Amino acid sequence: MLALLFKNSYLFYSIAIAITLLLSVAGGAIIPLDNLIGKYPWIPLVNPLYDFLHGTINYHLPAICILVIVSWYYLQQRTQVDQK
């Protein structure tokens, strides 16, 4: 879905790499976040890489992704029917 926003493939790959680096830094893969988690207990809830890096399972993010994909597919099918 991110690729649909960009016409230029160079810009898409640049943004994708930047987002990946941002998530890895924010996720604690490069800079440890253990001290911040003690002060701010909400960080593991909004950090998509926290559970992966600590070996725990969180079903919130995959469930949200599945809901977005299903609704996107439903809306796409509905607009195709309306166009015919």
Spatial contact of 49 and 27, defined as CB atoms under 8 Å apart: yes
Using one digit for the tens of pLDDT, what is the confidence trace for 43-52?
Answer: 777 777 777 7
Q: Which residue has the higher pLDDT, 52 or 21?
A: 21
pLDDT tens, residue by residue, 44-81: 777 777 777 777 776 777 788 889 988 988 887 776 66
Given a cut of 80, whether residue 28 has pLDDT beyond it is: no
